[in-house]
Structure formats: structure tokens, C-alpha cells
Amino acid sequence: MLTNRLNLIVADLALAARNVVRHARRTSFAVVIISGGVIAFLLAGGFINWILESMREATIESQLGHVQISRPGFRTQGAGDPYAYLLPDPAQAASPLDDPSIVTIAPRLAFSGLASRGDETIAFIGEGIDPEKEAPITRAINIVAGQDLSPGDSDSVLMGEGLAANLGAAPGDRIVLLANTVDGGLNAVEVTIAGLFSTAAKAYDDTVLRAPIDTARELMRVEGATTWVILLQETDQTQAAMSRLRDRLDATQFEVTPWWDLADFYRKTVDLFSKQVMLVRILIGAIVVLSISNTLSMAVAERTSEIGTSMALGVKRRRILQLFVSEGAILGLAGGLLGVVLALLLGHLISTIGIPMPPPPGMARGYTGEILISAPLAADGFILALATTLLASILPARKASRLNVVDALRKSG
């Protein structure tokens, strides 16, 4: 029974393929519509994929790392008194933090104050960092003037490009940092601007100053760090590494936070682009459904006498329906495969040439875009083609299977 059923399906598919090949002009039109929709969907989705992946990695490698560890309550209540939530040096927790996926663990000390140069004074947000341990995390920070901080250099700072412009400062200038200490007093240190940096976030560049953590501790008169920033070998390892760290660290002493909980702007951008991709999918699906439905309806009209003859010879209505649905499936398979292949080739070509883009909101510089068609996106495009053609074939197939045999045969005459 099962063998007979399979043989019947194979026979229907073979007959459907012959019908598709026999009407080359109509088939070519249908395949062009389907593959064109798949190409448009994959190129649009691939561009958005590249933007999101680039934004994700830039956020991780310039600011957040993959995982951050802090004291419980620091992120919700630490704005007013961050130094009530200080961590020790990461070396003191070496055993729980020993993980093969970890590239580096960098302590950071958050502070803020005023930076003065001559008669100019401006507020800043500071990050005290260990330049050596921080180096792998800040690969996406571009030094646009001067040089980066060097290990052991406690007399230099790195300023955001926008912050330096507002202060009228340049690499080599001496500035004074003034801040309220943990005890409520005032303290100041004089430092040299080693260099200026820029990141993907203009707001960050306009407010942030990075200083050696020993200088920040001296200024604030504290010890320790407000956070430990962890960089992993791969972003895909974040969930597993975070779970292991939570199992090993005392939850009453340490809070483990993944990068996605800290990247609010990135999450909102993903939500926005996801809705845009869904809208593109709906529009392309509607175009394919209408086009293929019209094409198959024309095929039913042209082959009315053929359908009537088949039913007169004993072919059941259900098999007629299956035959036209099979033709739709073959068109979907052909158009989907062709569309995916052409989209991959076009995506590679466009990425090689590059897409010049102006600075988007929140960024100071433009960028050269690319197309990133991932395997899940390619599969999504192929499934879109197959699903829409199957959906489009149902109504014409149903119409063909319900033809009156006598009327169909009369038309042949």
C-alpha cells in the first residue's frame, strides 16, 4: 500500500515536471517572478543582517564585552553611590573565572567629574581601565589622533573625539580632572591627552574619557573596580559562559549580566529591523502568490480539454488537484533554488564593491555596507518561495479538479 502510494506520488511529480517543461514560456515567467522575489528578500535581509552583526560586534568590542560582572544592585541602585558596590581585583576570584572560552577579564572603575583646559571646563563620564587587559575588548575603538594608552602609563588619558572637540583639546595637551571623592571631598589630577578615539556611538564619543584605572582610583580615592568586563572567543559562547559563571560565583556577591541586557539601543534596532524584514516578506509573498495563482489559472484554462479527457479516462479529481499542486511545488523549488543561488552571487559581488552609506543617526562617520546572507536567511528565502507557490497553486488546482467532465470535453470539440 505504501509502495503504491509512493509510486503514485513519483508518477505525479514526473508528470507535473513534464507539464512545467512543456510550457516553457509560462514556466520561465513564473520562475523569474519567484526568483526575483527571493533575490529581493535575501539582499534586503542580508544587508540588515550585516548591519546588525556589525553593530553587535562593534558594541561588544568597543564598550560592553560579552559579559559583565558587578555587585548585586549596582546596575539598578548604583548610580547615586557606585562605590558602595566595589569589586576586588579579578585575580582574587581566579578559580571561578577560569574558563577556556574567556579571552580576557578587565576591571573597570566608573567615575565622573570635570575636565579643564585653560578657561574651558566640561563634564565627562570616565572609565578607569587596565590598558593591557582592555586591549582585546576595545578592538572596535578607533584611535583617530595621537596614540592609545600604554600599560604602566598613569599620566595619560584617552578622550572621545566629540568630548575633545567640545573642550578644544588635542593630543599632547595637559588637562586637569576634578572630581568628588568617595568621602565627599574634592580631588584633582593633571594628565596628558595621549589620543582621541571614536566608536560607532557618537553619544559615547561626546562624553567619555578613558583613564588608567590607577589614575581613576587615585582621583576618586578608592580601591577595586565597579565592574569586570569579560571578552569571550566567540559571541555565540555568551549564553553558555554566562551560565557557567552564574553556577560558579556566589549570587549574593556577584551579578552576571550578558551584553544584550546592556545594549538597549541594539535591542531596539533589532526589533525595528525585524519588523521591516517581516513586512518585506509579506509583500514579496503577496506578489508571488498573486503572480503564480494567475499563471496556474491560465494553465487550467488552456488545459481544460486535457483535464476533461483525463477525468473521462478515470483519473480521480483528487489526483488532478495533486497534479496542479505538484506543478506549483516544482515552480517553487526551481524559483527558490535559482533565487538563492543568484542572491548569494549578487551578495558576494555587492560586498566586494561595497555600499557607501552616510552616517546614520547617532554616528559621526559613514561606513561601507555589505550583504551577509546567512544559512538561516537563505533557508528562509527558499521556504518563502516554496510556501507561497504551494499556497498560490491551491485555488487553481481546486478549480481544475472541480471541472465538469462534459463541459470540459465539449470545449475540446
pLDDT digits (tens, 9 = 90+) for 126-138: 999 888 888 888 7
**One-letter identity of residue 359:** P
- State the burial class of residue 187 (Cβ atoms within 10 Å of its Cβ: 0-12, 13-18, 19+): middle
Report which of 123, 111, 61 is spatially closest to residue 86, judged by C-alpha positions: 111
pLDDT digits (tens, 9 = 90+) for 233-287: 888 888 988 888 888 888 888 899 998 888 888 888 888 888 888 888 888 888 8
Nearby residues of 398 by Cβ (< 8 Å), 6 or more positions away: 321
Question: Cα separations (Å) of 127 from 65, 154, 289?
Answer: 14, 14, 55
DSSP-derived pairing of the beta strands 67-70 and 255-258: antiparallel
For helices 264-302 and 375-401, the axis angle rounded to 10 degrees is 30
The separation between CA 312 and the C-alpha centre of its own chain, rounded to angstroms, equals 57
Mean pLDDT of 359-387: 82
What is the predicted pLDDT for the residue at 410? Answer: 61
Least confidently predicted of 13-27, 218-232, 397-411: 397-411
Is the model's pLDDT at 397 over the cut of 80? Answer: no
Q: Which helix (H) or strand (E) holds 126?
A: strand 120-129
C-alpha cell at 182: 568617595
pLDDT over 90 at 331, yes or no: no
C-alpha span between 126 and 178 (Å, rounded): 11
Residue with more model confidence, 92 or 210: 210
pTM more than 0.85: no
- Point out which residues pair with 277 in neighbouring strands: none
Q: Pick from 76, 115, 84, 75: which is nearest to 208 by CA?
A: 115
pLDDT, position 11: 62
Weakest-pLDDT range from 170-179, 213-222, 365-374: 365-374
Q: How would residue 360 be classed by pLDDT, with cut points 50, 70 and 90? A: low
pLDDT at site 403: 65
- The yes-or-no verdict on residue 407 having pLDDT over 70 is no
Return all residues near 294 (Cβ < 8 A) that are at least 6 apart.
none
Indicate whether 342 pLDDT > 90.
Answer: yes
Cell, residue 204: 559615547
User: Residue 273's pLDDT is what?
Assistant: 83
Arithmetic mean of pLDDT over the chain: 82
Q: Which of 323, 293, 318, 289 is nearest to 306 (CA)?
A: 323
So what's the pLDDT on residue 303?
65
- Higher model confidence: residue 220 or residue 366? 220
DSSP state of 364: S
Residue holding cell 533554488? 337
pLDDT score recorded for residue 349: 93
Would you call 230 helix, strand, or coil by DSSP? strand
Average pLDDT for 291-302:
72
Q: What percent of the chain has pLDDT above 70?
A: 84
pLDDT at 345 over 90: yes
Highest mean pLDDT among 141-145, 243-247, 338-342, 361-365: 338-342
The count of other CB atoms within 10 Å of the CB of residue 9 is 12
Cβ neighbours for 80, distance < 8 A, ≥ 6 positions apart:
none
Work out whether the CA dihedral 67, 73, 74, 79 comes out positive or negative.
positive
Of the ranges 18-22, 73-77, 190-194, 281-285, which is most confident? 190-194
Q: If pLDDT is split at 50, 70 and 90, which confidence band does 367 have?
A: confident
Note the pLDDT of residue 289.
80
Residue 46's nearest CA partner among 358, 348, 357, 407 is 348
What percent of the chain is predicted at pLDDT more than 90? 14
User: What's the mean pLDDT in 31-55?
Assistant: 88
Closest CA to 13 of 404, 322, 360: 322
Using DSSP, state whether 96 is helix, strand or coil: coil
Confidence at 346, pLDDT banded by 50, 70, 90: very high
Comparing CA positions, the residue from 114, 126, 98 lying closest to residue 226 is: 126
Across the range 163-174, mean pLDDT stands at 90
Give the pLDDT band (50/70/90) at residue 57. confident
**Lowest mean pLDDT: which of 190-194, 201-205, 218-222, 404-408?**
404-408
Question: Cα–Cα distance between 214 and 166 in angstroms, integer?
Answer: 26
How do residues 76-92 score in pLDDT, each as one tens digit? 887 778 888 888 877 66
pLDDT attached to residue 362: 59
